[in-house]
Structure 1
């Protein structure tokens, strides 16, 4: 592997992105989920949760649209998903008396055996039966990856964190870029508030796989300030530099320190 550039982005979380864990509203927010089911060979999307900003009994139309997605075949050919930008389901629904809203969207056939990588993101939005958008929008992603593994090391004894991303069966010499995103949960002191953030970019690096199609990347590492509680939830996206298309994705979690 030849590393061409490396950029480690300093932790600079804006206060506007911070939110306390276990906020006052215990209701589950509306959440889009999408499942890449390699056993059933289907992809299915749904919406569930609590529509607390709407009156109970309100009629809505729930739209399911493929926002982004890409795939890599077993033979190594990458492509954007043909459904990107398409609305695959529009489902009439009614907000429950307890403000619940649970709606099945689309289900489509999908043969996992054809792919070494597949990812699809669905956007679920609500509109009134008369057509106006209601402002509620949520995204969900499923990923199937047979080539990539991410391991995290959280070591409070040395105040260090490190990520190790490995890949195999890639095209030798292909120009690629990896980006690491972190969503930490942290609490400075025992009597402090426990916070989280939206996922943010922490490190990125250009690289190319070796002649045998393997590679190892360790671009994301940092010294950690001691905390009463700290956990890291990391996602690594690998893209083709020529197309910007995602061709690998892996996630991992580590608990750095806890009472």
Structure 2
């Protein structure tokens, strides 16, 4: 299942490590596509912001927002969302610093009947002549049935991840929408000593660190023991960020959740 090995919507930064320095962080606001799925109202909102051009005279820019598929799972169905035939087009002007801000399309989904909802967004940035400058992607996820737990135990020096699911028999009778596999993508953030910068490390290419097959009980519940690792040494700061993707038998994403925990933080005085 090739889709199982693609971590959609996640910006992959480094494999050995990305050095996070104050200078780099302050140089420019990263250019991002954004999409939110409101859990209470079902409103889907899209926007884009960040640095697109070098500083200078404000310039006309075209920003195109386009839905690029997604998934909706209910108690009895699993539906692949169709990509939009045409983009939602916004014409705007960059600031003198080269930043752009644009609000895209709005739509809705039903947060009551949707056990899982995912919508993928592609944003294309063009100059006034219509020439593509760059693109960005993002996804939003609404998940009523998947919970990830990441536990950091400083005394044992361990980080443990587990995932629990409910309503795993929901979806189509063909198996579409029903969890069959789970993938774990782990980001490690480490600072060795107090006055040194932090490093952010993760796999390149959108790969999952760990993949397991899901075993569902008769009532549709399932639990997966993701991983347990012991941190050697005592860095000044160490934390993990976890993204969990759940896939049905056809490779469609039917669950998505994130969490994080901090194992060591030298700036915090022990209780």
- TM-score, normalised via structure 2 length: 0.81
Which stretches of structure 1, 4 residues or longer, exceed 4 Å deviation after superposition? Answer: 172-175
2:37 is matched with which residue?
36
Is the contact between residue 47 and residue 102 of structure 2 (CA under 8 Å) also seen in structure 1?
A: yes
Whether the aligned pair in 2 keeps the contact of 1:21 and 1:195 (CA below 8 Å) is no
Q: Secondary structure at the match of 2:112?
A: helix
Partner residue in 1 for 2:91: 92
Distance in 1, matches of 2:246 and 2:151, equals 20
The TM-score with structure 1 as length reference comes to 0.84
Q: Which stretch shifts more, 146-155 or 199-208?
A: 199-208
Q: Secondary structure at the match of 1:24?
A: helix
Aligned: 1:223 with 2:227:
no
Quote the Cα distance in structure 2 between the aligned partners of 1:175 and 1:149: 13
Total equivalences in the alignment: 242
Q: Distance in 1 between matches of 2:157 and 2:117?
A: 36
Gaps of 5+ in 1: 1-12
Aligned to 1:46: 47
Deviation at 1:40, TM superposition (A): 3.4
User: After superposition, what is the alpha-carbon deviation per residue over 1:26-51, rounded to whole angstroms, capped at 9, x for unaligned?
Assistant: 13212211111243332110012233
Displacement of 1:65 in angstroms is: 2.0
- Any idea what the Cα deviations from partners look like across 1:187-212, whole Å, max 9, x if unmatched? 12223321113565221101221111
Structure 2 gaps, min length 5: 1-13, 267-271
Give the Cα–Cα distance (whole angstroms) in 1 for the partners of residues 211 and 112 of structure 2: 30
CA RMSD of aligned residues (A): 2.2
Query: Counterparts in 2 of 1:62-141, with a 5 A limit?
Result: 62-73=63-74, 75-83=75-83, 86-135=85-134, 137-141=135-139
> What residue number does 1:244 align with?
251
1:25 deviates by 4.4
Say if 1:158 and 1:39 are closer, same or farther in 2 by CA, change over 3 A: closer
